[in-house]
């Protein structure tokens, strides 16, 4: 079946602009995660949704970052007033539920470049 | 703070050589550990995971990992690598009561024919 999809695959923006990154999880998966991967690093957790609510947003670096999942399916990560340090690959993952044993399935990521 | 560390950032092997990639974790409580792989141009995929029971875990494509609690380690092994194993490998742990993964920095493996 279809995996996790993310759009756009690449986004180039200028410093100070607003961007939105979209994630379509696997159908029926209730848990959704956002991670950020900087060059030469492993992914870092940003936020976790269970259904429509953000169960854990402790990884969001500051209040310029915000994410929503209004209908419990598609999620959008929003970044205001982008900075060059925001440049990274933003990964989305989904899992069937909230059990610890559930595997997280990752999407291909969105590569964000802030000039 | 909870952390996962991978000692080798780059590994180069010839085909048929044996592989062992190191992973150490630093946190207490319930320990759940994973190895993910990212092949060139592809997304992260799960190789194997440890939750409980037998500390020797077998995954896909002939990979296995052993959880050694006394050494805080979860090293990945494969007895004979192939060129198609060229990829980046990430060790990860599940953090606390929430389902967020904590990743190591990754090990880039290159296998030469």
Please report, for chain A, the start and end positions of each structural domain, with discontinuous segments joined by +.
17-97
Cβ contacts (< 8 Å) between A103 and chain B: which residues? Answer: 46, 49
CB contact under 8 A, A109 and B100: no
Cβ contacts (< 8 Å) between B2 and chain A: which residues? Answer: none
Best CA proximity match to A52, nearest among A65, A66, A68: A68
- The mean per-residue pLDDT over the stretch A24-50 comes to 95
Find tokens 């848990």 and name the residue: A31
Nearest CB to B32 within list A59, A93, A100:
A100
Cβ contacts (< 8 Å) between A35 and chain B: which residues? Answer: 101, 103
pLDDT digits (tens, 9 = 90+) for B29-54: 778 899 999 999 999 999 999 988 89
Residue B96 predicted with pLDDT over 80: no
> In this complex, is the C-beta atom of B45 within 8 Å of any C-beta atom belonging to chain A?
yes
CB contact under 8 A, B102 and A101: no
Grouping H, G, I as helix, E, B as strand and the rest as coil, residue B40 is coil
More confident residue, A55 or B19: B19
Write the class of the CATH domain B3-85: mainly beta
DSSP per-residue codes, A38-104: -TTS--EEEEEEETTEEEE-TT--STTEEEE-TTSS-EEEEE-S--GGG-EEEEEEEESSS-TTSPP
CB contact under 8 A, A45 and B105: no
More confident residue, A107 or B28: A107
Best CA proximity match to A94, nearest among A9, A2, A29, A27: A29
> In this complex, is the C-beta atom of B52 within 8 Å of any C-beta atom belonging to chain A?
no
Nearest CB to A42 within list B42, B98, B105:
B105
* pLDDT-based confidence at residue A107 (cuts at 50, 70, 90): very high
**Residue A76 burial class via C-beta count within 10 angstroms: exposed 0-12, middle 13-18, buried 19 and up:** middle
Fold of A17-97: Immunoglobulin-like (2.60.40)
CB contact under 8 A, B99 and A35: no
Cβ contacts (< 8 Å) between B30 and chain A: which residues? Answer: 100
> In this complex, is the C-beta atom of B39 within 8 Å of any C-beta atom belonging to chain A?
no
pLDDT at residue number B18: 97
> In this complex, is the C-beta atom of B104 within 8 Å of any C-beta atom belonging to chain A?
yes
């Amino acid at each position: 079946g279809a995996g996790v999809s993310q759009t756009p695959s690449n986004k180039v923006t200028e410093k100070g602009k607003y961007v939105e990154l979209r994630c379509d999880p696997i159908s029926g998966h209730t848990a959704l995660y956002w991670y950020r991967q900087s060059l030469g690093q492993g992914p870092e957790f940003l936020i976790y949704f269970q259904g429509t609510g953000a169960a854990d947003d402790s990884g969001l670096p500051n209040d310029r970052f915000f994410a929503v999942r209004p209908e419990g399916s598609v999620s959008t990560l929003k970044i205001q007033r982008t900075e060059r340090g925001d440049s990274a690959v933003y990964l989305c993952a989904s899992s069937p539920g909230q059990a610890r044993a559930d595997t997280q399935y990752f999407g291909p990521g969105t590569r964000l470049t802030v000039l | 703070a909870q952390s996962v560390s991978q000692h080798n950032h780059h590994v180069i092997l010839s085909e048929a050589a044996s592989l062992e990639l190191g992973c150490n974790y630093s946190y207490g409580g319930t320990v759940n550990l994973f190895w993910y792989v990212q092949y060139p141009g592809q997304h992260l995929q799960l190789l194997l995971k440890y939750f409980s029971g037998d500390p020797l875990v077998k995954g896909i494509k002939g990979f296995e990992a052993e959880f050694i609690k006394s050494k805080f380690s979860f090293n990945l092994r494969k007895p004979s690598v192939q060129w198609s194993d060229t990829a980046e490998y990430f060790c990860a742990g599940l953090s606390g009561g929430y389902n967020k993964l904590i990743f190591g920095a990754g090990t880039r493996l290159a296998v030469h024919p």
